[in-house]
Structure 1
Amino acid sequence: MTSAICVGVIGGAFGVRGEVRLKSYCADPAAIADYGPLRTEDGATFAVTLQRPIKDGYAARLSGIATPEAAEALRGKRLFAPRDRLPALPDEEYYHADLIGLGVVGPGGAMLGRVLAVVNHGADDLLEIAPEGGGETVLLPFTRKAVPTVDLAAGRIVADPPDGIFPGSGDDG
């Protein structure tokens, strides 16, 4: 089965005709309707028809959803598109889903950990990494300096983390 990418989330019912409030995570927000049918994590599948733009998203129709109650029951459900339906990205741009699970090695090749998530708290993206030896997760800036190489084919990231960011590395005390 093809991997899937989260392309949006349902914000709940919108209006009285079974429409939903839909937030798109796509670079072109309206493109979310082009990648369907979309699937939720629990396996429900929906064709998406955008009705009109609204604050922070779209009023949309989902196939099989005809009442406000059915629409509201979908609140918070994330919508996924098969990876192969999404556009190719330019060099050095990545879908978050392509980074999650990659091994992270230091400049000398020592395993540092594995990417758990890509987060953004307002500035640059950060890679949340589970350290190889266990312990609390580490946030590594996803910048050219801290992450000089992403090798999707090899399933790894070469990182040059700041001293002390990983347990037992650098001068952390």
Structure 2
Amino acid sequence: MTDRVCVGAISGAFGVRGEVRLKSFCADPEAIADYAPLYTEDGSRSFGLQITRAVKEGFAARMSGIDSKEEADALKGVRLYADRDRLPSLPDDEFYHADLIGLTVVDPGGKVLGTVRAVHDHGAGDLLEIHGPGLTSTVLLPFTDACVPTVDLAAGRLIADPPEGVFP
């Protein structure tokens, strides 16, 4: 597990007074402000955050130390991370994406199928992007109870029972 979890991203400036356009990755999008201070990926900068209003595809927000449109524009594309201990605990059957990335994927017989490279959510449910031995490209596996019956974070693995034909 990592000490910080990605909770949002800046998609550019909003207006001319230093506000940013913010996209939240939180289950409750407005809760992103509760997890401040937020950090850049490398941890070199931190920001206080105040959401000023909802806008199309996110929020307009004020970030500490950002006072001009130019400063806000310079942050476009920056992903924001919160300390894990500021995030809420999850039920046993829910996981932060950051915890799934890097897990070894094995089949029910124990054969290694690969490693989780990323978790994608396109609106119809999460997909695990898996790459591993014998794969010429990544495989997308639905993150459902049927396809992934067991996630063992302590052991660093998940057991996958993929539909036939997904893995060679």
TM range (shorter): over 0.9
Deviation at 1:134, TM superposition (A): 4.5
Find the counterpart in structure 1 of residue 60 from structure 2: 59
Partner Cα separation in structure 1 for residue 2 and residue 120 of structure 2: 24
Say whether residues 1:11 and 2:11 are aligned partners.
yes
1:14-48 deviation line (CA, Å, top 9, x unaligned): 11111111111112212111111111124321111
| 2:150 aligned partner | 149
- Which residue matches 2:93? 92
Cα deviation for residue 164 of structure 1 reads 2.3
- Number of residue equivalences: 167
Shift >6 Å, 4+ stretches: none
Q: Partner of 2:54: helix, strand, or coil?
A: strand
Backbone CA RMSD of aligned residues:
1.5
Letter in 2 for 1:120: D
Query: CA-to-partner distance for each residue in 1:99-136, whole Å, 9 max, x for gaps?
Result: 00000010011111100011123312111001233421
TM-score by length of 1: 0.90
Match of 1:74 in 2: 75
Judge conservation of contact 1:131–1:166 (CA < 8 Å) in 2.
no
Q: Which amino acid aligns with 1:100?
A: I
- Aligned-pair distance for 1:13? 0.8
* Structure 2 match to 1:40: 40
Counterparts of 1:8 and 1:136 in 2: how far apart (Å)?
A: 28
Residue deviations 1:55-101 (CA, integer Å, cap 9, x gap): 22221111111110000111111101111210001121111111000
2:51 is aligned with what amino acid?
A: L
CA contact (8 A) 1:24 1:32 kept: yes
Q: Counterpart amino acid of 1:34?
A: D
Q: 1-side partners of 2:35 and 2:76: how far apart?
A: 20
Instruction: Tell me which moved more, 118-127 or 86-95.
Output: 118-127
Which residue of the partner structure matches residue 123 of structure 1? 124
Q: Secondary structure of the equivalent of 2:154?
A: coil
Q: Which has the larger radius of gyration?
A: 1
Secondary structure of the residue aligned to 1:30 is helix
Instruction: Tell me, in whole angstroms, the C-alpha distance in 1 between the residues paired with 2:8 and 2:156.
Output: 26
Tell me the equivalent position of 2:30: 30
Map of 1:171 onto structure 2: none
| Identical-residue share of aligned pairs (%) | 66
For 1:39 and 1:122, locate their aligned partners in 2 and report how far apart those are by CA, in whole Å: 27
The answer for unaligned runs of 5 or more in structure 2 is none
In the other structure, the counterpart of 1:170 is none
| Structure 2 SS opposite 1:69 | helix
CA contact (8 A) 2:12 2:72 kept: yes
Could you tell me which runs of 5 or more consecutive residues in structure 1 were left unpaired when the two chains were aligned: 168-173
CA contact (8 A) 1:130 1:138 kept: yes
